[in-house]
Structure 1
């Protein structure tokens, strides 16, 4: 016999089968009071032995069991009950316990059940509506009446688009018709519409189901809608945050990063966004510290708007906006806190007259000010405005704006630091490159240097023109591997070394050998300090305008381009040695005779090689451009850069253009001297006569002293043949050559010494002097300054 109870009977047992809980329904069902049963073994009190084993065997390792068991009442009679057994884990790590439930089976009262069903439909916490097979409304609950501001009686017989005219609901009605035709249920369809009386659109999640009569025939469609605006906005905020993390900071350009912030925020968060930064950030400097007591000037770094017509204020990058100390932007900078501002007429007085007029003109009704802070420094402020969207900003919007602004702030600060490093690298690079090229009579020069596209990619490309003795000129172009301050510093060290070695008048191959040794030592230092190697390439050439011959040597550097006066163009034929820093392999010198008026182009690979063009294509384009270019060397340099690098490349590039000339034979005089001390007097006389031909009689006295000393030294300490050469160019050069490799040295003679004063006298009377070595022998030279009239 089944027993019906108004409430279910429940009991709990621990893992050992001891009763730990007993409900009022259990007392009514079995007659035991709670104090009589709790703490006792349930199997001994309630269950027959065979029933106990039956339940245990059925449970096994499951967490739930349902079945019928025989239970002994307090008065001794046996009762057959339907029981559910659930395993549940106690709190705080205690052992599992069992919950036994025997549901009540009392029959509900029909009027009460009917009223509960009706009121449950009417008061359900979502929009519910029933439509007949013609998709006309039959019944709606209170939430729907409130949402559409109509009663059920006013809506009855109307289709859904007739109740709320909206394209989204027309689509929903088409889905309702498919539900009638197919019987398929549709859940969580999302629509956006503005309900009557609402100021802005809401997101609605709609579910549709077919209603059938007891015979299974379609009788209508059930309609449910939930306002999911908050959930939708939360998802959109998460999507916007995710997009901000990928879009903001794509480069290390400060203005570009600020623009990416505005592009992300408009129109999904605001209708207009402006990013205003301290102007000092453009130079990589720190923002001003402390509280500002005067109006704050900020540079408009970026802006974006969601409506047509460009706002005048803040519309131009680098335009300066001045905010009063009491204005919301200034207050945001001073406190470092974000804020939402209602742009009412009363509140606009704080913004300053110009800003207030601009706000009124464009109808902004809500604003947010968010400080741009990174690493405890305030870099500027981000301003968010709304005028197209009617809803004002709220707390969640402010949190979202703070989050994306914080991400952008770190990127902006990184860009600022990058800018500072770039400016430092460029300043170092420019200070280490030659500021002006020497004006030599034997050639005409022009140079171009183009930094890489991104700032700290300033590299180690360099060029140089170095005057040598005997009117010769050294031409240098080189490239240090790598970029940044380290590469620029290495370039400066190598350039200084080349100047020092060039002063020794070494042949090009010997100079590169010494430079290679230096790079190897620098690489060892760099490997111990920074864990990296140093590599470089270099081309060193020496041009002699007297012989019109140019000696070239290359350490892994591209061959120069040569354009002859008759229009032939090509690369100089010369051996190319290994790059500097490898060691072990010798360098070779190639000597080429250059017709007067030849054009040489020395360059680094950044000029000819780009991401879209390989080396050979770049060299062909360079040669083609050099042949066609006309005008001065400066004009030719501009033409070459425009043709090969119309925009800044990924690598820096250097170009040195040289137009060669030859000295007129009348500017050079030479005399072979016998190894006889008596020839010194005849040599002085010959030199004096030659200076008279050149109109340099006033310089004859000094020249005779210099010639006498140098020739005497060559006769006494050198080996024949001995040769004297005078060169009249911008200066007067006296050279004495012999086949001995012994180098004279200037020393300080003591009071009673008879020798040792000759070279000291030469050094005092001339502008400079020195010795250069050849394959056989040496040349001692001295250079005198000529007066302006000469």
Structure 2
């Protein structure tokens, strides 16, 4: 009781001491524990009774050592020593931080600040001690989250390499947030490309670029870093990527219907006794790059929505860094070959072919295939296989970006392979300054095929890659005999161009050596394809899947893929061509022919006027520098392409004419009136082309009413 004789009181009303004591135990937010001289718990405050982690009814009457043994607690011996020291010396113990959790498997860790004081009578008799517990769990968690975000900002993205960036992300997150963390990106991201929704619907191949586990640095993930895999339909992984909504699996049941112990990834999850997961899509600048997965199997408490928010914040930063690496990788690869060039056209639809792909991942990495839109509604189908070396993913990424840059120059397939061979033969940059790539001795095969839907001409060249197979409209199977040159970077670069006019509605089948081996060789592959295509298939993708299953009934030893391309033809209703003599009057004749044709196609007058000026300038350029006849071709299919072909091999260059110059403005005008233009070799001459994007037709008011 606080009285007049107490040194810290001054005219305290009678009963105030009892009132203060009652308030401390019944109203104070600070948890109060009172222990007797034997350190037996004899009383607790109301705040302690509200703590879920402290079962008061079970612990009242127990000694401090017994209470400490009821929890998982950091250094319980230190707590006991501090309590005895307070009893013996009378010196209080202030702000001792203690971390503890219940011994339930899913309990959360609680952090408290504990201050202990000795209790004694006025005559000095020691009665015990009182301990004040302040729960600072929320504050400690918030501070930890801020530190983790600051660490992520400082450590993630120190290089412009996708694999290193993913590794930095994993190092920051594990074990601070998750016991195991993985980063998977779409396979096309490694080529510097932005995944396109309709392409992802056909090909869901992903590649592991980052992994870390508290199990140790020697522990490898499934799949391992660099390996390719697919997310099966019906799994949370595929659902998150399809919906782009992050997912919290607070308690993962071993009997969850999507878990299949026959799959390597799922078997690892079950073996590790994973009990909680977070799945977060990786996005940046409107592009979906892949998926970050967080697992808990050693930390007993499950993830909650607070962890999900933190994981999203960290993944958002990592996504920006990964996208920076993607963009840099593409520009770097192109810059090693080109000192300039035109921007890659982003075609939303490939009008030349219908595509279907099937990927059979084995975890070895290196296999890839792409379809690249070219001028004149043409398409380049490229496929390759990185067969050796320790840096397959990096080599594959650089090759794919280089092929896109070269294809954009409208080079023929044999010339593309020649330049790729030169790139692969160059010494790589020092390993301490860049990621290993094409020039580090990695062997790679490559097939490059260009198809023109107007002429139905197919041109193809091979660098050690299996030749494509031609399936006729009636189902007959025929191998295309393409002379295979040496793999990229090996031997002398001698690549032969094979040309073939394809029947309308043909299907090209392209696969890598792994699928050819799984099928039992080329003759066995042709025999099986003959049987398969004898029966009609419901769709091209169904045919592709059926072929892959039949050719590789067992899991291939290396990554295998199959690409089917059903060719399409642009008939005379969408194309028109004329040949003019090399005379000054040809420019006017070509302009009048073009205006008439565009009017028949029903194009807008602004488009007709712009195209007439472009045709006039391009034909005039050919009249000035060529000697033989000049051909004009118009292609109307989604875009409007204007092509002028002559016998001059000299490529024109864009330049700015002075106000006093009488000539030199042709390409400058063309570049301003069209979305893109370029020059491509054509026989012994060249083709100068320009493309315009056509506006969607305005709705018919009469139809609306």
Bigger Rg, structure 1 or 2 = 1
Q: TM-score, normalised by structure 1?
A: 0.45
Give TM-score, length-normalised by structure 2: 0.50
Higher relative contact order (CA 8 A, sep 6+): 2
